[in-house]
Amino acid sequence: MGTGRLYGLGVGPGDPELITLKSLRYLRAASVVAYYAARDKPGNALTTVLPHLRPEQIRVPLIYPVTGKKPEPPYDYEGAMREFYDASAAQLAVHLDAGRDVVVVSEGDPLFYGSFMYLHDRLAERYPTEVVPGVCSVLASAAVLGTPLVYRDQQFQVLAATLPEATLRERLAGVEAAAIMKLGSNFAKVRRVLTELGLLERARYVERATMDGEQVRHIAEIDPESVPYFAMIVIPGQRWPGAEAAENAETALPLSPAHPAPAPQSGRLTVVGLGPGAAELMAPAVRAELDAAQDIVGYTTYVELAGPFRPDQRLLDSDNRQELARARLAFDLAAQGRRVVVVSSGDPGVFAMAAAVFEVLEQADDPAWHAVELAILPGISAAQAAAARAGAPLGHDFCVISLSDNLKPWSIIAHRLRHAVDADLVLALYNPRSLARPTQFADALAILRERRAPETPVVLGRDIGRAAESLTVTTLAALQPEQVDMRTVVIVGSSLTRQVARAAGGQWVYTPRWCSQTRATD
């Protein structure tokens, strides 16, 4: 005689009418019915199927050693549960070896946060096994709420409330739609996270969906001490303005009449600095913001540097001179409730997109733009990256000047250069030379050479942190305009800047932290 077959049956969220026909057929035919339960309780799965059982069927209760809150250490909770599942598998194996078919009934779906998974891991390779899916509690809760979980291409997350608070905060930041299961004693922790992230008004509490005692309530009404394990929080996806213009906007978040839709949430706009280009030089906070974003806006080259991205994230790249257009697009998207990141190379506040974002915000008369949550995350600037490769040329007072005259006249640039040289500051020069401005760097060199010694060290950093990186150490006298372009940052030393031989050849460049009284006042 061969062995029996093992069946994992999903019997739905609690309503007996939500058992599938296939699960019902296997249930009625099996010799053995196993079910999980707490001590002295029948268990929800057994309660759901009880009207369909035959008197002669063998019932095997699998009694959890621990239910509710985990005991405090030194109790070995993980070890106790492992022993419990081992013993449960051995108990069912006796029946299977005797040729009896065994069904394990599971609330919802057997492989969706279902304890059947642990029996499956232990028995499926030894016995013929079949899993029958069931209506899970997430879908039942959405049906009870009368709420679409997601719209179109939105992403949906399912999280366990048992996760650490910091992990919940990280995973729910920028979430489009989510369900948080296994509430119980974790409810207060989850409510704190939702409050901090501005998700409380969107969230809905559902207890025992489709079972006796079903409740649908606002989270603010809930006593944390009363929350059972079979409760969850649903954060439905929002329909953004214009998604389907033909439909009435009042249905943006359909809920039952007792729970009207909340007002649309303002989105988040973050301007980030990617650093010089290498992934390892990007700040972790920037990477986290990129990962949480729905829309990435930026100059094409910088968007490519910001990857990798998921298929569901929208990349909205454009030409280098469209800064204000990009800023306006970003605000429009964020005002629709989306999470948007605008990318800059280096630091966003150094000749980059942060200023452009504030320029359009200052002129905006749309209240929705001003309601957007706005944040700026720094990055390593080109000057800092080049300085680090060269040594420490920015070790004392320095200034940063862009030589581009697209947004300011050359006369102002020349005026500032003269004063910076006279103040004996180290200079970091951005945008030194382009095809459209082939002569201005030579004019800048002339100003520098009038006032600074020929042997003054100069560092040329090009594409630092990228595949084509190059670093050149030269002097003011030897420097030629043809050596630089728009991807080069030029660091011109002060009278104090020195060179020190490198062990592997070449020169380190650094500026001491002290300043002589004579040079400071002459």
DSSP 415-465: HHHHHHHHTT-EEEEES---SS-SSHHHHHHHHHHHHS-TT-EEEEEESTT
Burial 95-105 (b: 16+ CB within 10 A, else e): bbeeebbbbbb
Distance CA 351, CA 402 (A): 8
pTM above 0.85, yes or no: no
| Token pair for 293 | 């974003």
Judged on CB neighbours under 10 Å (0-12, 13-18, 19+), 418 is middle
Paired sense of beta strands 507-510 and 391-392, if any:
parallel
CA angle, 217 then 219 then 220, to 5°: 110
Q: What is the pLDDT along the chain (522 residues), one digit of tens a residue?
A: 589 999 999 999 999 999 999 999 999 999 999 999 999 888 999 999 999 999 999 999 999 998 877 777 788 888 999 999 999 999 999 999 999 999 999 999 999 999 999 999 999 999 999 999 999 999 999 999 998 999 888 899 999 999 999 999 999 998 999 999 999 999 999 999 999 888 888 899 999 999 988 999 888 889 999 998 889 999 999 875 444 433 343 333 343 444 444 444 569 999 999 999 888 999 999 999 999 999 999 999 899 999 889 888 999 988 777 899 999 999 999 999 999 999 999 999 999 999 999 999 999 988 999 999 999 999 999 999 999 999 999 999 999 999 998 889 999 999 999 999 999 999 999 999 988 788 889 999 999 999 999 999 999 999 998 888 999 999 999 999 999 999 999 999 999 999 999 998 999 999 999 876 544 444
Burial 373-393 (b: 16+ CB within 10 A, else e): ebebbbbbbbbbbbbbbbbbb
Q: Are 491 and 428 in contact (CB under 8 A)?
A: yes
Collapse the DSSP code of 264 into the 3-class scheme (helix H, G, I; strand E, B; otherwise coil) and give the result.
Answer: coil
> What Å distances lie between residue 268 and 85, 295, 349, 497, CA to CA?
45, 11, 18, 44
Domains of the chain from N-terminus onward: 6-135 (3.40.1010.10), 139-239 (3.30.950.10), 268-377 (3.40.1010.10), 383-521 (3.30.950.10)
- Residue 467 has what pLDDT? 85
Which phi and psi (to 5°) does residue 250 adopt?
A: -70, -15
How much is the CA Rg of the chain, to the nearest whole Å? 33
